[in-house]
Structure 1
């Protein structure tokens, strides 16, 4: 019964926060439906990330034994947050449709072509979200049989990079690539993504190797198959996305280095778009 209450609460909270944020931005800022939807999507993702990271920090600090110690937040937040991934698939679709409208396809409605274009554009992210619901949810809640709350808390910390990623996308959307905020956020995004996503899975194997007093390279041979499968599917995605972030950062630096210095106030040179995809 408690599990159903938490899942229901998450199913109401995340879409409700999205709708409330979108309505507030439209009324207070005078934004269009699409603009408000895009920013609201980033806001909800950031809120979920802060909640997940906070839960992870509490769990990690409370578990001395990485396998046996338990914390009530572990299963509770898994149940509460799982509906977020289903909601976010739809929210990303709204952002995709808004981009089509910005490009001059105002007549575009929900059609097979629009859905197909969305799936082609966001295929990896959609598959990631589907995998989180269909595999990670039962693996985290059922298959681990109450073991390893510490490791689940570490996995929650992966969301630490999300707020900086979302802010970067919003700044790019509003052509703020040349601002100090964008530069500082870019450094923070690189650091948090590398620390909390790229290094995440090697650290999990390292922590388990210390627990069982075994060389880390032998851990995949004794770790549960669900852990190995999850790491094999999720870690390459993090490496791929981190590569895109680095490529975008290098492209932006290259553009700035090739921009001639301005000797006169009236000399040319406008804002440039960063094509980094995260």
Structure 2
């Protein structure tokens, strides 16, 4: 969508901008359910029963992620499908790019779980885990954070404005919406950076010790 856009980004149309949403809806529902199952598996009792306590713990520990999914389902989906009319396919395509980092984040969780199930694996110190960590940070930074300055820059190129002029030339609610979207991404990226620093510092710490 982003690459194939024509000269005018506002009226540019691409079928994938609308059809992809029908994949996004079940994916978000599935992802929420999968997160709950992970919490249940980690805290399940001897009877292996689902309980209200487990569900409450899940909501408490994943408030930001659940809110993120809810905003996508109940705000972004209606906006992308109906409220924006026939405009903005380019920007919708940019937002979809955020999911490019998801496979690497998921693989990292799988490797962590594998290590938890078998301590002898030491997956966190394998080359695969480190390479995946680098790819996670790179794709997360470029597709979830730098994506927003890119959209502002693209708009500025269309309107003959500099990047710094764009926030003052668009409706205020656009800036507010983008701020709400990028804020959790910055928070999650900071957590990823902390994990990465521990991962790459641990071998050095062992050598120094």
Please report the TM-score for the alignment, with normalisation by the length of structure 2. Answer: 0.88
1:257 equivalent in structure 2: 204
1:143 equivalent in structure 2: 83
Q: 1:139 Cα deviation (Å)?
A: 1.6
One of 174, 191, 201 as aligned partner of 1:244: 191
CA–CA distance in structure 1, aligned partners of residues 77 and 24 of structure 2: 10
Q: 1:115 Cα deviation (Å)?
A: 1.1
CA offsets per residue over residues 114-154 of structure 1, 9 Å max, x none? Answer: 11100111111100000001111112122221112112112
Matches within 5 A, 1:1-150: 59-64=1-6, 65-101=8-44, 105-107=45-47, 109-150=49-90
Q: 1:226 Cα deviation (Å)?
A: 5.2
CA–CA distance in structure 2, aligned partners of residues 185 and 93 of structure 1: 24
CA contact (8 A) 1:100 1:106 kept: no
One of 145, 149, 159 as aligned partner of 1:198: 145
CA–CA distance in structure 2, aligned partners of residues 135 and 222 of structure 1: 24
Q: Secondary structure at the match of 1:109?
A: coil
CA offsets per residue over residues 174-204 of structure 1, 9 Å max, x none? Answer: 1211111111111111111111111011111
Q: 1:240 Cα deviation (Å)?
A: 0.5
Q: Secondary structure at the match of 2:2?
A: helix
Q: Secondary structure at the match of 1:61?
A: coil
Change (3 A) 1:224 1:111: farther
2:165 equivalent in structure 1: 218
Q: CA RMSD in A?
A: 1.9
Change (3 A) 1:107 1:221: farther
Q: Secondary structure at the match of 2:125?
A: coil
Change (3 A) 1:225 1:140: farther
Number of residue pairs matched by the alignment: 201
Matches within 5 A, 1:136-175: 136-175=76-115
CA–CA distance in structure 1, aligned partners of residues 150 and 193 of structure 2: 22
Q: Secondary structure at the match of 2:164?
A: helix
CA–CA distance in structure 2, aligned partners of residues 140 and 228 of structure 1: 17
CA–CA distance in structure 2, aligned partners of residues 225 and 168 of structure 1: 37
Q: 1:250 Cα deviation (Å)?
A: 0.7
2:178 is aligned with 1:178? no
CA–CA distance in structure 2, aligned partners of residues 97 and 75 of structure 1: 34
